[in-house]
Amino acid sequence: MVHLESFAHQLTHWPYLFSDCFEFHWGPLTVLLKFIHITDLHLKPPGQKLWGLDPKARFERCLADIEAWHKDASFCIISGDLADAGEPGAYNWLRERLKAFALPCHLMIGNHDQRDIFKAHFPDTPVDENGFVQQAFDTPEGRFVLLDTFKGGTSAGEFCAQRQSWLRRELDQASDRPIWLFMHHPPFNISIPYMDRIKLEDHEAFAKLVSAHDDIRHIFYGHVHRAGYVNWQGIACTSLPSINHQIPLSREAVAGKPYSDEPAMYAVVLINQAQVTIHFDAYDHRGEVDMPPRKP
Ligand SMILES: [Fe+2]
């Protein structure tokens, strides 16, 4: 009987026993790095709303939710469109608000920002030797590369010769470490014509440069105001809804308007040796269901 119980135990737990023997990672794994991705805040100066919604209030609830449930994350990355139109009042509010936030935040700019106004309000944000708001930093789980795709005068993104040189250098310096790449504009179409017209210009140069590195594990992007997954050139790429307004897949579904009030989300990213896990959390739509409470 004892032997039968032991055999049954082994059958129940065989993936773990197997992993113990051969160092496979089939069982629960330790998270080596946890961080938060947020994008497209579209903040307005105090007292102003955008499309009938209040971006500051929605961002406040986002920050409160992260502090409540993910205070153990190492950092946040906010991938552009911090302000809706580069307003100094929006940047002032954001700078002061983030001082009281529990996690360090790495800020990027998008087409709705204004680079010079942003830099004046966030003098501590790293810039490269040419003044672009882009940086790379290393973690034990690899190199994080945050690319500036702002062009100005257009909603499309730019990947000019100076930024190509910078990205080539930063990717080369990663050596054989994993690379986690962040950019506001996607370098590919997502089959929403309105967005596909304003993706990253110079995307052929970007594709060529990226294809020379086989350690790019993931591209995180914003701009499209939707949660999405694209496998591009063999690289996993994910986007997020805006904190304020979204871009509907079908305008006809929202009376022909270009924007919709679908749920905002932030992403919880968990990295370990075996996998990258991304949870898209609709923090503002987490109501209880009608059922008796259960034990955890
Ligand atoms: Fe945006």
Asked if residue 9 has pLDDT above 90, the reply is no
Which tens digit of pLDDT belongs to each residue from 175-202?
889 999 999 999 999 999 999 999 999 9
CATH architecture type of domain 29-284: 4-Layer Sandwich (3.60)
pLDDT digits (tens, 9 = 90+) for 70-80: 999 999 999 99
10 CA → ligand 1 middle, Å:
52
Instruction: Tell me what the mean pLDDT of segment 152-170 comes to.
Output: 97
**Confidence (pLDDT) at 294:** 85
- Per-residue pLDDT at 16 exceeds 80: no
What is the CB neighbour count within 10 angstroms for residue 282?
13
Interval between CA 73 and ligand 1 midpoint (Å): 24
Residue 173 makes CB contacts below 8 A (sequence gap 6+) with 136, 143
107, β-bridge pairs: 78
| Bridge partner residues of 104 (DSSP) | none
Q: Which pairing describes strands 33-38 and 76-79: parallel, antiparallel, or unpaired?
A: parallel
Ligand 1 mean position to 223 CA, how many Å? Answer: 5
Q: Is the pLDDT of residue 1 over 70?
A: no
Determine the number of helices (DSSP H) and then strands (DSSP E) in the chain. Answer: 8, 11
Residue 17 C-alpha from the chain's centroid: 36
- Per the document, the length of the chain is 296
Distance 82 CA to ligand 1 centre (A): 8
**Cα of 75 from ligand 1 centre, angstroms:** 21
Q: What is the mean pLDDT of residues 134-153?
A: 97
Distance 211 CA to ligand 1 centre (A): 27
pLDDT of residue 184: 98
CA distances (Å), 292 to each of 285, 288, 289, 295, in order?
A: 20, 10, 9, 10
3-state secondary structure of 230: strand
pLDDT band at 15 (very low <50, low <70, confident <90, very high): very low
- The pLDDT tens digits for 21-66 are 334 444 566 889 999 999 999 999 999 999 999 999 999 999 999 9
Domain edges within the chain: 29-284
C-alpha of residue 224 to centroid of ligand 1, in Å? 7
If one compares 126 and 1, the residue with the highest pLDDT of the two is 126
Instruction: State residue 3's pLDDT score.
Output: 47
Q: What is the pLDDT of residues 89-124, one digit of tens each?
A: 999 999 999 999 999 999 999 999 999 999 999 999
**pTM confidence score:** 0.89
pLDDT at 17: 38
Q: Please tell me the distance from the alpha carbon of residue 187 to that of residue 202, in angstroms, as a whole number.
A: 8
What are the tens digits of pLDDT across the range 206-257?
999 999 998 999 999 999 999 999 999 999 999 999 999 999 999 999 999 9
> What is the 118 CA–ligand 1 centroid distance (Å)?
16
| Cα torsion through 155, 159, 162, 168, rounded to 10 | 150
Residue 293 confidence (pLDDT) = 85
| Ligand 1 center to 80 CA (angstroms) | 7
CA of 14 to the centre of ligand 1 (A): 48
Is the per-residue pLDDT at 161 higher than 70?
Answer: yes
